[in-house]
Each structure stands twice: as structure tokens, then as C-alpha cells.
Amino acid sequence: MNGILNYFLPIYFIFFFGLAFVWRSYLVWKTTGVNPYKLSNTESAHDYIGVLFRIVLAGCVVVVILYTSLSEGYKFLVPIVWLNHPILIWIGIALLVISLVWILIAQKDMGRSWRIGVDAYIKTDLIQGGLFSVSRNPIFLGMRLMLIGFFLVLPNAITFAIWVLGDVLMQIQVRLEEAHLREFQGDLYNAYASRVRRWL
């Protein structure tokens, strides 16, 4: 199993960051002329959450590097041995793959309206079709699944902390985004929120 993960995890995260962030950002910029990356370095709660979430994602990369390249260093992450079972690992791999596909479909559904963070200046369309007809936050839902899957594949103290911190940050972020949408979209968003649940 270790041999499979040594190849799978680096390839997975290359695809995850490459497709879900770099490629999607490029497509939005190419079609709209707008930079979809809306996080900055201000003291606002929104930007502070962005900083912490970047740390979460960087933590995933560091864990993968330690696991695949520095096995002695990985021991310092305090592996949870009793969770290191092939069935749980395969469930984790399945969640990682499903979450990436789900995120990419949700981003496609969002199209030109996709942003990293809150766009306080340009009023984007309120997307209600596709995966957004079953979840108000399908991209964050996919990322929540990704962090659970990552923990199951490599159960240790750090991936557990990454999962918990990432989930808390996403819970806060979606509420900030919902407040923004209620302000910008008004009754249209309120009607949408009354029909579709926050997660599922």
C-alpha cells in the first residue's frame, strides 16, 4: 500500500492544485479579464481565514513530502496506527478522487462567477443549477470530503489537525460568503437559500 500512496498522493495533489486552482483561475481570467483570486493581506476576518486556509493546504503538501520522501520525518507527525487499515485507506483514496471530480464539476457549473474569496466589487451571477441545485456550497463540500479522505489515507496527528482546522475555516468562510450574497443578491439569494441546504 505504501508503494501505491508514494505515487498516488503527489500525482493527486498536482492535479488538485493544477486543475482546481491554477487552471480554473486561468479560465476565469481568460474569459472575463478578472483575476478570480480575491484574498489579500488585510486585517479583515475574510483575509485572515484565507491566510489560515493557505496554511492548511500547505500542510497537506508538507505531509505528502514527508511521507513520500522522508519516512523518518513522517514518524514525527505521530501516526495513528490503529486507523492505518487497508479498507480505510481505500475509502480515503475514493473520497479524494470523488471530491476532486465533484469540485471540478462544481467549478464548471459556476463558470465565470467562480472566485477564490469574496468579490466585493463585481456582482457575479447567482448560480443555482447543476450541483448548486443540491448544495449551496458544493466546492467547499468537496474540499471537506478531500480533507477527510486525506486523513483516512494518512491518519496522523497533523492530518487530523488539518482536517479539523480546515473544516472550521470553511464553516466560517461559507457564512461570510452567504452574508455577502444576501447583501448583493437580496431576495434572490434568500429564495435560493430557502430551497437548497448549505451542504446537502
Kindly indicate the confidence band of residue 103, based on its pLDDT and cuts at 50, 70 and 90.
very high
Q: C-alpha cell of 90?
A: 481505500
User: What pLDDT was estimated at residue 193?
Assistant: 95
Residue 116: pLDDT above 90? Answer: no
Q: What is the pLDDT of residue 9?
A: 96
Task: Please give the average per-residue pLDDT across 168-180, as a whole number.
Answer: 93
Q: Which domains does the chain have, with CATH numbers?
A: 2-195 (1.20.120.1630)
The pLDDT of residue 4 is above 90: no
Here the cell at position 2 is 505504501
Distance separating alpha carbons of residues 193 and 200, to the nearest angstrom: 12
Mean pLDDT, the chain, rounded, equals: 92
Instruction: Give the pLDDT confidence score for residue 43 in this predicted structure.
Output: 80
Q: Are 145 and 98 spatial neighbours (Cβ–Cβ below 8 Å)?
A: yes
**pTM score of the predicted model:** 0.92
- Give pLDDT tens digits for 25-84: 999 999 888 888 887 777 888 888 989 999 999 999 999 999 998 877 888 899 998 999
